[in-house]
Amino acid sequence: MTILDGKGLAAKLKAQTREETARLPRRPGLAVILVGDDPASRVYVNGKKKDCEECGFYSEEYALPEATSQQELLELIRTLNDRDNIDGILVQMPLPRHLLPREVIQAISPEKDVDCFHPQNVGAMFTGSAGFLPCTPGGVMALLDEYGIDPAGKQAVVLGRSNIVGKPMAVLLLDRNATVTICHSKTPNLTEICRQADILVSAVGKTGLVTGDMVKEGAVVVDVAMNRDENGRLCGDVDFLAVSRKASYLTPVPGGVGPMTRAMLMRNTLFSAQRRQNFEKG
Residues that bind ligand NAP (CB under 6 A): 136, 159-162, 164-166, 183-187, 190, 203-206, 209, 224-227, 257-258, 261
Of the pair 85, 211, the CB lying nearest ligand NAP is at 211
Which residue in the list 92, 113, 237, 239 is annotated as catalytic? 92
Q: Based on the residue annotation, tell me whether 92 is a catalytic residue of this protein.
A: yes
Give the span between the Cα atoms of 207 and 73, in whole angstroms: 35
Shortest spacing between CB 106 and ligand NAP, in angstroms: 19
Q: Based on the residue annotation, tell me whether 277 is a catalytic residue of this protein.
A: no
Q: For the chain, give the number of residues.
A: 282
Q: Check if the beta carbon of residue 220 is closer than 8 Å to that of residue 247.
A: yes
Shortest spacing between CB 37 and ligand NAP, in angstroms: 19
- Residues facing 15 on adjacent strands: none
Which residue in the list 48, 112, 154, 216 is annotated as catalytic? 48
Shortest spacing between CB 104 and ligand NAP, in angstroms: 16
Give the span between the Cα atoms of 103 and 153, in whole angstroms: 39
Q: Check if the beta carbon of residue 142 is closer than 8 Å to that of residue 154.
A: no
Which residue in the list 87, 113, 115, 239 is annotated as catalytic? 115
Q: Write out the DSSP string of 55-117.
A: HT-EEEEEEE-TT--HHHHHHHHHHHHT-TT--EEEEPSSPPTTS-HHHHHHHS-GGG-TT--
Q: Check if the beta carbon of residue 238 is closer than 8 Å to that of residue 223.
A: yes
Q: Based on the residue annotation, tell me whether 274 is a catalytic residue of this protein.
A: no
Of the pair 80, 203, the CB lying nearest ligand NAP is at 203
Shortest spacing between CB 192 and ligand NAP, in angstroms: 13
Catalytic (active-site) positions: 48, 92, 115
